[in-house]
Structure 1
């Protein structure tokens, strides 16, 4: 990554202080210096009322009334949200296919599976910078286009049936990325 990231503002939302520190320690060597932290979704929403961020990293499971999915959904759908277009990276160990699809369907921009490396985090930031996603609004969805790119080996209507038959299996970060790229 050849970007100077010292000017981007990042918000990290995680109720586990150790996980939050780990994310911050990975971001700093990448050049990110403007890092805000919130221990829950409620605090994150309060922070976002008065601050603009360029990227949000949020954990799926957090203490409090709202989890990471609720935070993403609020940011994307609530009329009071000041930046519905902010890239949001879900950082979690929840890598089952149905959970990845659920996060994508509420408006997550990228998915980072724990445990992750600095290289993988840098790749997610690069994806957000180099390939900004168009946003789509339908009756039941608002968020980044869920399709990553056109698949050259598309074989017609039956393509998605194979995905549904895979069951609920854990996927590593590259498998999640491959799955999202197929869509």
Structure 2
């Protein structure tokens, strides 16, 4: 069916989903993956209370049902004062994979998106990425979460002016921009 590497036996996962059927499927897969502890709650309020009182290695939340209340949990994770908890990976499980929803989740600091219908392979992939292949974490005004850049591309173009070393090669001086634009 799927590989069980890496090991998850020492990991604690908080699963927040009011869909009894889907949460049983996800919990069953996490059990097969030998996740150390899976705590399931049906409400965002209960999820926030548990998250505030205990440490988890990962949070899996269904956000977009019931008016998107799950986003409140993501805000609680990323908006807290405990640095270790702020960095807790968050996996959004959703059937609403339209671009605007994905961008909203990304901009709120979600680590991974698990699209419904879920499969064991996708649960393994997203959990592995969230726990063992984490992107650099960013804490900046207006954004807290993993670096939104997923691809690491070697740039072969001109140097960026923001890099140490000054302006880009061939940069147009401020006074000549209009002339350059007009030909």
TM-score (normalizing by structure 2): 0.76
Structure-2 residue corresponding to 1:128: 130
Q: Of 116, 119, 135, which aligns to 2:118?
A: 116
Structure-2 residue corresponding to 1:24: 27
RMSD: 2.3
Q: 1:3 to 1:101 in 2, by over 3 A?
A: same
- How far off is 1:41 after superposition? 1.2
Point out 4+ residue stretches in structure 1 off by more than 3 angstroms.
78-82, 151-156
Structure-2 residue corresponding to 1:50: 53
Q: Aligned partners of 1:59, 1:99: CA distance in 2, in Å?
A: 12
Q: Aligned partners of 2:83, 2:68: CA distance in 1, in Å?
A: 16
Q: Which runs of 5+ in 2 are unaligned?
A: 159-183
Q: Is the 8 A contact 2:91 2:130 kept in 1?
A: no
Cα displacement string for residues 42-82 of structure 1 (whole angstroms, at most 9, x for unaligned residues)? 1011111221110111001345x871222112210133786
* Secondary structure, aligned partner of 2:101: helix
TM-score (normalizing by structure 1): 0.76
* Secondary structure, aligned partner of 1:24: helix
Q: Which runs of 5+ in 1 are unaligned?
A: 157-183
